[in-house]
C-alpha cells in the first residue's frame, strides 16, 4: 500500500557536520580567514558558524582597540615601564582566549571565550544570523 500523502522533501536540509565546523574553524585563522568564513557563512548559515564568527568579531575588535592604545602608552616615558607588563599580560590572555575559541570550534562546541566571550555574544547577538 502506497501512502497517498508522502512527506515533501526537505527544502533546506541540515548542513553536514564537517561543513558546520568548517566556518567556525576558518573564522579563527587570521583576519583573512574570518572574512572568508563570513562569506562562506552568508551562503549557508549555521548556528555554530554564527556563534564563532561573533566570538572572533569581538576578539578582532578588542585587539584593534586595545593594542594601539597600549602602544601609545608605552611611548610615554613614565608609563612605558608600567604599561609593558600589562601589555604582555594582555597579549598572553588574548592568545589563551584565541586558542580556547579555536579548540571549541574544532570540537563543534558553542563555548564562549573566557571572560569576554559572553559579552561578545551579548553585544553581537544578531550578527551573522
Grid coordinates standing for 12? Answer: 533546506
Q: Which residue, among 31, 12, 45, 33, has the nearest Cα to 127 in the 3D structure?
A: 45
pLDDT tens string for the chain (129 positions)? 556 666 555 454 555 555 578 999 999 998 999 999 999 999 989 999 999 999 999 999 999 998 888 878 778 777 777 778 888 898 899 999 999 999 999 999 999 999 899 999 999 988 888
User: CA 123 to CA 58: how far, in whole Å?
Assistant: 8
Do the beta carbons of residue 111 and residue 55 sit within 8 Å? no
Query: What pLDDT sits at residue 85?
Result: 84
Query: What pLDDT sits at residue 12?
Result: 47
Owner of C-alpha cell 522533501: 9
Query: What pLDDT sits at residue 7?
Result: 58
Determine the distance from the C-alpha atom of residue 20 to the mean position of all C-alpha atoms in its chain, rounded to a whole number: 14
CA distances from 29 to 11, 33, 106 (A): 32, 5, 12
Q: Which residues contact 73 (CB under 8 A, 6 or more apart)?
A: 79, 80, 83
| Whether the model pTM is above 0.85 | no
Amino acid at each position: 500500500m502506497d501512502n497517498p500523502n508522502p512527506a515533501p522533501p526537505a527544502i533546506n536540509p541540515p548542513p553536514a557536520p564537517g561543513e558546520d565546523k568548517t566556518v567556525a574553524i576558518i573564522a579563527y585563522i587570521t583576519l583573512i580567514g574570518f572574512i572568508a568564513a563570513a562569506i562562506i557563512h552568508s551562503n549557508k548559515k549555521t548556528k555554530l558558524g554564527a556563534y564563532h564568527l561573533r566570538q572572533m568579531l569581538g576578539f578582532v575588535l578588542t585587539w584593534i582597540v586595545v593594542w594601539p592604545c597600549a602602544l601609545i602608552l608605552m611611548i610615554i616615558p613614565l608609563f612605558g615601564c608600567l604599561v609593558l607588563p600589562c601589555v604582555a599580560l594582555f597579549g598572553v590572555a588574548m592568545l589563551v582566549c584565541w586558542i580556547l575559541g579555536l579548540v571549541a570550534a574544532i570540537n563543534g562546541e558553542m563555548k564562549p571565550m573566557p571572560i569576554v566571550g559572553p559579552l561578545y555574544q551579548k553585544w553581537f547577538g544578531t550578527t551573522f544570523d
